[in-house]
Structure 1
Amino acid sequence: MSDDEHTYEESLMGEEEETALEIAALQSKDLLPQPKKEFAYHREALSALRGEISQGKLSWIQRCDITSTTPVVVDKAEDDLDRELKFYQQGIEAVILAKQKIQKAGAPFSRPDDYFAEMVKSDTHMAKIRQRLLSQQKGIQNSEEAKKQRELRKYGKQIQQEKLKEREDRKKAALDKIATIKKRLRSGDMGDNDGFEIDVDSEDDAHTQSASGKRGKDNRHVPGKKRQLKNDKFGFGGKKRGMKRNTAESTDDMSTFNVKRNKSAGFGGSSKKSKVTRPGKARRQRGR
């Protein structure tokens, strides 16, 4: 075992011994009888001291002491609000009495209009306090606004759910009424249809018409505007077989015939073969 380890163990043993001694001393102190405190109240000595420091010979304007006419009586000393209220009332009474005595003595006590008094705290400190108060007030306002927004969102969501439920109820009622009328039509009961006119056989056609277009006068399907625009741009599908086959009309139509492109010896052109202007392979490779 090294010297450092011996030193560490000795320090631990020393601390434990000191702790044990302190505990023993505290226990013995608690067990020992404590001396009783004696309180002395010497009325004559206190009265003599009061007479020495009394300023009764001076005028009141030099002493400026006020004694309340009503003693402070607090029912519960722990009630901070009641206790502070009694002190406040006592202070108001003292101010009224002091004002009357100052006026009686003829001494000025009102501050002049041009009086300049330096504040105890600096303007920088007061600006910080004002900024802190404004920040707290703004935080309270933001909290109230956020609370209002949460309430409005809850209310709006509730209204939205009620609207969706009402819409679903209307849709369900309409579907039930349609199903009832279909049953009447199939059974041959052509009584009152509650103002509904429905073509049962063309239910799927009606769905197709609402989705992709409508029917013309000759009961032929007419594509909607969106479908028509796509047909004009990309084509409209349909029959593709035999689309390039000639007909009598296309054979007689010579509007697209190009004389120069179709010029040959049989049509008054030259019978000489044109010279080949394409360069040879080696020349083409050198030009690459």
Structure 2
Amino acid sequence: MSDNEYAYDDSMLEDEETALEMAALDSDSMMVEPKKEFINHKTALSALLEEISQKELQWNHRCDITSLTPIVLEKADNDLDRELKFYQQGLDAVLRGKQELVKSGIPFERPVDYFAEMVKSDSHMARIRQKLLDQQQGIQNAEEAKKQRELRKYGKKIQQEKIKEREDQKKASLDKITTIKKRLRSGDLGDADDFEIDIDSDDDRKSKTGYGNKTKAKGGKPMPNKRRQVKNEKFGFGGKKRGMKNNTADSAADMSGFNAGRNKSSSFSGSTNKFKVQRPGKAKRQRTR
């Protein structure tokens, strides 16, 4: 077979494939999906409902309730509104069912003396209750700890602000003092108001912070509190305590308090006291009291 014959066969195959593709496109464009028909067969549905309704039975055996109020929704896509309507419809059905049970004389509430054996034992339920109480207490403790952490953070922040304020005030006072020294050296005193430095004294700080006793003695010094006064009366007013009763050179040389008659002792003189008075006995001393 020659090369021309091979070329002819390839061109024929390409033409046939193109024709088949065009035919397939035409057939797809001509195919139309059948339209779905929604038919409400009311007669058939009513017959089926009548068949399964079983109206010959009493209501307590059927327990069917048909809502008298249809559900009306503004937007069917609103899930919250739709669920609320279903809830209202179910609540209305429960109330109507209760009325039917009362009318039929059927009890539906648990009697006061009702007794039934529980699935779980009392000890098991007590453990469950204790576990729930522990969980609740843990939650409360965690909240309280969180609150305390927040309070500590707030207190620390206030403390840092106070410390920064004191440092700024101290720095400003030192700057003023440096400025005053420079002016004094140069002889330029300037205005007298520039020499005013806002420095709180100890009494001012105590009055601001609430510390210290504001009662003052005659000398102007603050009086100590009652506890300090009692300790001062009992133990003294401070100062050196050790070695206060030791002799010194002056005290050893001082003979003003020496009395020969009082300090005379028979053990040193070598003589005995002939007129020594005997001490009365215990019974005699008690009678004389």
Q: Which TM-score applies when normalising by structure 1?
A: 0.42
Q: Which TM-score applies when normalising by structure 2?
A: 0.42
